[in-house]
Chains A and B, each alone.
Chain A
Amino acid sequence: AQKITQTQPGMFVQEKEAVTLDCTYDTSDQSYGLFWYKQPSSGEMIFLIYQGSYDEQNATEGRYSLNFQKARKSANLVISASQLGDSAMYFCAMREGRGNTPLVFGKGTRLSVIA
């Protein structure tokens, strides 16, 4: 079974608008971490935001926020005031448990910001 599901292969958003990228996850662990990474066309993977399973507040980092709904097992990324430079692939990832477990990635969502 897929651990991380990103159902939107591609998304378009107008510049300066907000956009939500969906991510659902599957785990039976109580302790886990959720991550979002950005991959621009140049190829590097850039860490955006992290949410721990015990964190009560939704994580925020500048224009990025993570809408964490534990009961629904969803961890959607919200980008506010989109910029042309936000055009990239976005990956949701999860790390299960407290020990040394690998980061597991979803298939990604390609976001295109339109002027």
Chain B
Amino acid sequence: DSGVTQTPKHLITATGQRVTLRCSPRSGDLSVYWYQQSLDQGLQFLIQYYNGEERAKGNILERFSAQQFPDLHSELNLSSLELGDSALYFCASSLTIGANVLTFGAGSRLTVL
């Protein structure tokens, strides 16, 4: 157990729907990162939050949004889902912004039918 908790582990939904993925970082970690892992694109950085504020943005679609709450948990919202959004979504956390090591959660596997 890495200490980073992601829910749900698996999610199956239909095109056009909206889902929310949740992440609780490791105790004491202030920074949260979201990554998408798909077969064709590999592991892609989506977005990073630090202590409630957005700090870095990667290849995140406009249909996707995220936030980090005062208790430091984070949510990734995916809307108007398309087949191509099917992927494994990882949350990772680190103590500080520029920390060397990211600790990953077990991922949330999203299947869009």
Contacts and interface: CB of A to CB of B under 8 A. Distances in A.
Contacts of B43: 91, 105
A35 B36 CA distance: 18
A86 B107 CA distance: 20
Contacts of B103: 47
B2 A102 contact: no
Given A91-B43, A108-B42, A103 B107 contact: no
Interface residues of B, number: 24
A99 B104 CA distance: 20
A62 interface: no
Contacts of B19: none
B98 A45 contact: no
Interface string B64-107: 00000000000000000000000010101000011011111111
Is chain B's interface secondary structure helix, strand, loop, or mixed overall? strand
A50 B42 contact: no
Q: How large is the interface on A (under 10, 10 to 19, 20 to 34, 35 or more residues)?
A: 20 to 34
B107 A43 contact: yes
A95 B33 contact: no
A50 B101 contact: yes
Contacts of B56: 100-102
B101 A102 contact: no
Given A100-B55, A103-B45, A104-B45, A44 B2 contact: yes
A27 to B, nearest CB: 16
Interface string B2-21: 10000000000000000000
A107 B107 CA distance: 18
A72 interface: no
A37 interface: yes
A100 B102 contact: no
Given A43-B107, A47-B104, A100-B97, 10 more contacts: A33-B100, A35-B101, A44-B107, A47-B102, A100-B55, A102-B33, A102-B45, A102-B48, A102-B56, A105-B43
Interface of A: 33, 35, 37, 42-47, 50, 52, 91, 95, 98-108
